[in-house]
Amino acid sequence: MTLRDKTAAKLSSKAGEFKIYRFDTLEKETGLSLSRVPYSIRILLETALRNVDNYVLEDKDVLSLASYNPKKVPEGEFPFKPGRVVLQDFTGVPCVVDLAALRNAMVRMKGDPSRINPLVRVDLVIDHSVQVDYFGTGDALKKNMELEFERNQERYEFLKWGQQAFDNFGVVPPGAGIVHQVNMEYLAGVVLTRNGEAFPDSLVGTDSHTTMINGIGVVGWGVGGIEAEAVMLGQPLYMLVPEVIGFKLKGRMPEGATATDLVLTVTQMLRKRGVVEKFVEFFGPGLSNLSLTDRATIANMAPEYGATTGYFPVDTETLNYLKKTGRSDAQIDLVERYFKEQGMFRTDSSPDPEYTDVLELDLSTVEPSLAGPKRPQDRIPMKELKKTWQGLMTKTVKEGGYDLAGKTETVAKIENGYKSDLRHGDVVIAAITSCTNTSNPAVLIGAGLVAKKAVEKGLTTKPFVKTSLAPGSRVVTDYLEKAGLSPYLDQLGFQTVGYGCTTCIGNSGPLPDPVVKAINDGTLVVSAVLSGNRNFEGRISPHVKANFLASPPLVVAYAIAGTVNIDFTSEPIGKDKGGNDVYLKDIWPTNKEIEDAVGTSVLPEMFTERYGNVREMNDMWNAIAAPAGNIYSFNDKSTYVQEPPFFMDMSLDIPSLKNIEKARVLVKVGDSITTDHISPAGSIAENSPAGKYLMDNGVTKKDFNQYGARRGNDRVMTRGTFANVRLRNQLVEKEGGYTRHLPSNEEMFIYDASLKYKADNVPLIVLAGAEYGTGSSRDWAAKGTFLLGVKAVIAKSFERIHRSNLVGMGVLPLVFVDGQTHESLGLTGEEVFSIEGLSDDIKPRAVLTVKAEGKDGVKTFQAMCRLDNQVEIDYYKNGGILQTVLRNFLKSK
C-alpha cells in the first residue's frame, strides 16, 4: 500500500464531497511534522502524494519533501505535476503551432495524431497583441482594437482552429484583460477538482509573471513554452527541490507609500541577497496589514527579484478576495475547508516555518520610489531621483551613465500643433500599464485621485508626453467610473488605450514623428515613466534610453512635470489657475481617501458581470471564421504561421552524443543580457533580415506588426534573434544585431553570418557573462538560438527559465568554473573552440574540457555542463523536450 492509498480520505463541502490526501495521516504514518515545512513546499508535497504511481512518483519522493530540511534541501530532481497551464498569445501561438506540427509529424511517422492533445486544463488569454497606436482620445480603445484585429487576423484564425481542435484548451479573447489579472480574478480556483479529487490549485504559465498568482496562495511560475508544452502533453516538470528564503514583513505601510514602492524595495533587497532558482515565501505579522492585491503586486515581480516564486499562504484575506471578486459561496467554502483540514491555513498565531535564510522588512520604512533607468532592481528613492539623474548624465557608459558631460543643457525644438523645447530627461512616455499594478485598485484609484486633484488645480500634462492607460481587466474601468475618476484621467490624456499588456512589453507604439525628430536632432536621452515591471534597454521604445518604473499615481505626476530631472519634495510640479506653485504633496491623496474610494467602488458584481460571458464578449472575435478539423494545413505563403522545422526528417533513433568541434563564436556578450536582447521583440526594422524577408514576401512596412505577433513563423523569428538595437556584441564596435564572420573578418547581420557558417558546416557557440537570459520567459530566445546553429552557450551564470529553455531545444548550457569568465581567460571570441567530454554516459553537471585555439596558441579551461538531472540529459540526447515526447508517443503506440 502506498502513502497515497494510506492517506486517502473524504472531504465534504458546499461544492460536494471529494477525495483528498490528508497531511495529518501522513504525519502519523511517517512521524514527521509538516508545520515546520514552508507552505509552498507543502503544495509540492501534495502533488507528489496525490500522484504516486510507482513510476514517475514513488513514496520516496513524498518522504523527501515531507522531511524537507531548508538548510540541506533534498538532492536530485523532483517531478512536479501542476494542475493546469496558462498561456498568453505571444507565447501561446508558438505552443499551438508546435502542437499542430507534432500532429503532422505523427501522421508522417504513422502514429495517431489525436494523441497529441492537452491532458491538463489549458487557458490561453489573448492580451499581448494590442499596441498603443492611438492615445489621448476618446476613441483610442476602439481604434487600437480595430488595428489589433487587422494585424492579427491570421493568428486569431489559427487560435480559433486550436480551440476547436484540441481538448482541454480554452481561449479568452482580446479585450478582456491581462493574462495574470484574468488568472487571478477568474481562472484561479485556489482549490481545483478533477476526477472526484480536490487539491490545491497549481500551474505553470508561459509568461514569467505567472508568479502573480502566488499572491492568492496558488503555487505557479513562468516556464518556457517548450516546458509548458511538455506539461500539456502529460509530462512532469522536472525540477531541483528549491531552497526557500523566508521574507518576514512587520509593521504597516506609511502615509504616501504604495504597493509599487513596496515591491521595488522588496525587489532591490532580494536581488542583493540572490534568490535565483529559489522560492521566496512571505510571512510575519505584516501580512495581515497587506491587501491581497498588494500581495499580488509583490508576487508578480518574482522574476525581477530572480526567484522562482514569491509565495503568500492562504488565509482570511484570500477568502475575502474570493468574495470580492465574485467567486461562488461553494468554491469559497471548499477553499476554506480544504486548507484548514490540511493545516495550511495561515493565521497570525500559526507557527513560522523553517527557512534556508530570512530577510526582514518593516513596512513603515517604505518610501516613494522609482526603479531604473535600465533594471527593475535599481531602486531610487523619489527624493533622490534628480540627483541620481544628474549623476547618470555625466557618468560614462561603462559606469552605467550616458556620457553627456558638457552636453547636459542640449535643447531640441518640437513643432507638432504646439511648440516646445525638449531636453535630456524629459518624459516622452507616461504609461499606466502592466499586470503588476493594474491588478491593484489602491494604486489605480490613487492615480485617479491624483488626476482629479491636478485637474481641479488647473494642471495639465506636457504636450510631448505620450500618455496611456491600459487596464488589466474591464473591471478596472468599472470601478474608476463608479468612483467618478475616469473623466479626470481622460482630461490628462490617460484615456483607456486597450485591455492588455502594452508599454511594459514594448507595445508602446510609435512616438509622434516630430518628437522622434527632436530626440534625434538633439541626440537626447529622454525618459519613459511606466507602472510596469520591466525597463530593460531597448524594450519600451527604440527612441527612449531611460526607463523608470513607478506607481500609477507617480506616472500621472511625472506626465504633468514632463521630466525626471525634478525633486518633487522641494520643487513645484506646476502652477495652479492663479499662477501659484503646486507641489506633489498638494495633489497626493491620503491613504484613507484611497481606502474609502476602494471600499465603495470595487464591487463583487462587477467581476461576476464582466467574467460571466468573458469567452464570448468580443464581437470581433466571434465574427472570425476559422478552419476546422484535427490537422492544420499550413500555408507556405503565410508570414504569420509556418510549420517549424523541429520535427522534419526526424528519425525514431536517438543519435549518439559527440564532442562539439571547431566551433566559432557567433555572439560574445557581457553580464545581464536579457531575453529581450536575445529574443525578437518589439518593432521590426525595415533594413533588418526580418524586415527584408517580410518585404520579399509582399508585406509593406505599415503591416510589419511586431515580432511578438509573428512568433508563429520561425522564418521571421530566427532572422530577429539577437537583433535588439541595444545588443552589444563584443565582436563588433556598434550596437545592434551584428557580428563578425570568422575567419573572413567581414561584418554583417548575425543571421547572415549564421547562414555562411551553416553552409560551411561550422557549429556555433555564444560566450556570455553573468545572469544570461534574465527577463521574460521567451521560448524564442532558445528556439532562435538553436535555429541559428548555436550548439552551446558558455556563461558565468544563467537565469533559470532561459537555461531550461536552452536544454529544451537541445542547446548545451555551460558555466565557467572557479570564478572564471571569458574576460578573465582573455578570450577574444576569434578563437576556434572544441568542447570535449560529451558522450552517451555523461552525468548531470559533468565538468567538460573546452579548448580555444587562437593566434597565441590553445587555451584550455573547464566548464560545468548545466544539464542538471538525468531527465535533462535525456532531453538533450533527443534534441529537445518535444522530440523526446514525440519519440515516447511513437514507441508506445
pLDDT band, very low/low/confident/very high, at 800 (cuts 50, 70, 90) = confident
Distance CA 677, CA 824 (A): 23
Q: Is the pLDDT of residue 893 over 70?
A: no
Q: Is the pLDDT of residue 437 over 70?
A: yes
Per cent of the chain over pLDDT 70 is 100
Q: What's the Cα-to-Cα distance from 409 to each of 23, 384, 421, 424, 544, rounded to whole Å?
A: 67, 20, 11, 8, 18
On average, the pLDDT of the chain sits at 95
Q: What is the pLDDT of residues 722-742, one digit of tens each?
A: 999 889 999 999 999 999 999
Q: Is the pLDDT of residue 765 over 80?
A: yes
Q: What is the pLDDT of residues 57-111, one digit of tens each?
A: 999 999 999 999 999 998 877 899 999 999 999 888 999 999 999 999 999 999 9
At 114 the pLDDT is 87
Lowest mean pLDDT of 253-257, 599-603, 632-636, 761-765, name the range: 632-636
User: For 243-264, what is the mean pLDDT?
Assistant: 98
Q: What is the pLDDT of residues 541-565, one digit of tens each?
A: 999 999 999 999 999 999 999 999 9
Sign of the Cα pseudo-torsion (215, 79, 807, 109, in order):
negative
Q: Is the pLDDT of residue 227 over 90?
A: no
467, containing H or E segment? strand 466-469
Provide the grid cell at 402: 550616458
Domain boundaries, the chain: 84-365, 376-602, 645-891
> In the CATH hierarchy, which fold is given to the domain comprising 84-365?
Aconitase; domain 3 (3.30.499)
- State the CB neighbour count (10 A cutoff) for residue 544: 24
- Secondary structure E strands in 519-573: 527-530, 546-549
At 354 the pLDDT is 98
At 708 the pLDDT is 81
Lowest mean pLDDT of 90-94, 166-170, 190-194, 635-639, name the range: 90-94
CATH topology of 84-365 equal to that of 376-602? yes
Q: How far is CA 441 from the centre of its chain?
A: 22
Q: Is the pLDDT of residue 683 over 80?
A: yes
Amino acid at the residue 326: G
Q: Is the pLDDT of residue 418 over 70?
A: yes
pLDDT band, very low/low/confident/very high, at 43 (cuts 50, 70, 90) = very high
Burial degree of 529 (CB within 10 A; 0-12, 13-18, 19+): buried
At 777 the pLDDT is 61
Q: What's the Cα-to-Cα distance from 1 to each of 42, 94, 406, rounded to whole Å?
A: 22, 43, 78
Q: Is the pLDDT of residue 746 over 90?
A: yes
pLDDT band, very low/low/confident/very high, at 438 (cuts 50, 70, 90) = very high
Q: How far is CA 275 from the centre of its chain?
A: 17
**Which CATH architecture fits 645-891?**
Alpha-Beta Barrel (3.20)
Tell me the angle at which helices 779-787 and 800-808 cross, rounded to the nearest 10 degrees. 40
Q: Is the pLDDT of residue 506 over 90?
A: no
Q: What's the Cα-to-Cα distance from 14 to each of 10, 329, 332, 340, 528, rounded to whole Å?
A: 13, 8, 9, 15, 50
Per cent of the chain over pLDDT 90 is 86
Region of 68 on the Ramachandran plot (φ > 0 left; ψ -120 to 50 alpha; else beta): beta
User: For 347-354, what is the mean pLDDT?
Assistant: 96
Q: What is the pLDDT of residues 193-226, one digit of tens each?
A: 999 999 999 999 999 899 999 999 999 999 888 8
Q: What is the pLDDT of residues 646-664, one digit of tens each?
A: 999 898 999 999 999 999 9
Q: Is the pLDDT of residue 539 over 90?
A: no
At 604 the pLDDT is 97
For residues 389 and 400, which has the higher predicted lDDT (pLDDT)? 389
Q: Which residues contact 473 (CB under 8 A, 6 or more apart)?
A: 176, 177, 178, 181, 182, 185, 438, 439, 499, 610
Q: Which residues contact 672 (CB under 8 A, 6 or more apart)?
A: 375, 769, 770, 771, 774
Q: Is the pLDDT of residue 475 over 90?
A: yes
Assess contact for 89 and 128: CB atoms under 8 A.
yes
Provide the grid cell at 82: 501542476
- Specify the CATH superfamily of domain 376-602: Aconitase, domain 3 (3.30.499.10)
The residue among 201, 893, 258 whose CA lies nearest residue 595 is 258
Q: Is the pLDDT of residue 132 over 80?
A: yes
pTM of the model: 0.87
